[in-house]
Amino acid sequence: MRVSVPNIPDAVLRAASSGKAAVSPAFAVDRIVRFLARGNVAVITGAGVSVDSGIRAYRGEKGSYLNPNYKPIFYHELMEPTPRGVGFRQRYWLRSYLGYPSVRDAQPNPVHYALAALQYASVTRHIITQNVDGLHHKAIRDVWDGPKRAEGILELHGTLHSVRCSHGHKVGRQKFQDMLGGANPQWRAFSEELEHSHSKPRTNPDGDVVLPEGTRYDQFIVPECTSCLVENRHNTMQKPEVIFFGESIAAEVKNKSFDIVDKSERLFVVGTTLATFSAFRLVKHALERRKPVLVLNVGPTRAHELTGIEVLELPAGTVLRDVVKQVLGNVAESPTIAKMLESGVVKTPPDDYDDPVPRPTSR
């Protein structure tokens, strides 16, 4: 099976590298305010939105991967029912075991809260996010219950916070994390050591980490699905409810994403290169329906190859709070929205991709 990792076309990267006049924050705020003022705007977000929460994006300002050696595990590899598949699952789950705490403990940043304020005020009724970190949910959970969040936030590529086996049994990610630690006490001790020393490994947006050459993945134990054991079945084929490369998005999710775009008057795209086709096709769909599309992102995106689209190259965190205040006017002073606009962490990770990870003392 041949599956490729999505990329921005070289022609787009070359055109972007030729230089483009920067826009000022004041200009960007004014343009976005006018774009959102009429309401009924759908929002698409990507990894760039979560950078200020301490979660690295896949790509840098030039549109290329921050980690030039980035090599994801594909869906068919992870779920292969062979000894080879066992090896892929050992590799994935060890890296995910060490990386998940950073994603689990991450907190929303001002961009998440600004978009939550726009949702709460019904300016943007739906957010379609490519992120799997759950931070859009965290930003609005104090004022929206679970069902309302599920309606208003569509996780296009799933979530890291639950795990499902090949027979459909579901378990919470933290429970599975505890199972992984129980089955691998030496790695649990190593993880605790990292926590106490504050030397956390570099976490990718999909929740796994980079480990040193020579790491013995073959000694990592992936626990069996407990529900399958009850049914007298042995099964270690388990994955987070995330859409892996080579895996299809569920028809229900795909259809809802198009329905959101169809029912909205405009499309606001924030913090994404649109490299994945699942998001890019929504932008193309909006343009085909003659809906205005505005992109706010740092660096080149696949949107640059489309006509009839407007792009502002600025970090969302520099403008969105001011945008919300101007769009909502006096409503922005209400206690709930005012609190949102005062909330959010800013802990931007470094752009380096070679920060070393200590090895466990024994394996």
Distance CA 166, CA 238 (A): 6
- Assess contact for 45 and 271: CB atoms under 8 A: yes
The torsion defined by the Cα of 162, 52, 287 and 302, in degrees rounded to 10, comes to -100
Q: Could you tell me how far CA 159 lies from the centroid of its own chain?
A: 9
The CA distance from 38 to 126, in Å, is 15
The residue whose two tokens read 């028809």 is 251
Sorted by sequence, the CB contacts under 8 Å of residue 267 that are 6+ apart come out as 41, 42, 43, 44, 261, 282, 283, 286, 291, 292, 293, 294
Catalytic residue ranges = 157
Joined tokens for residue 185: 């006490």
Distance CA 296, CA 36 (A): 13
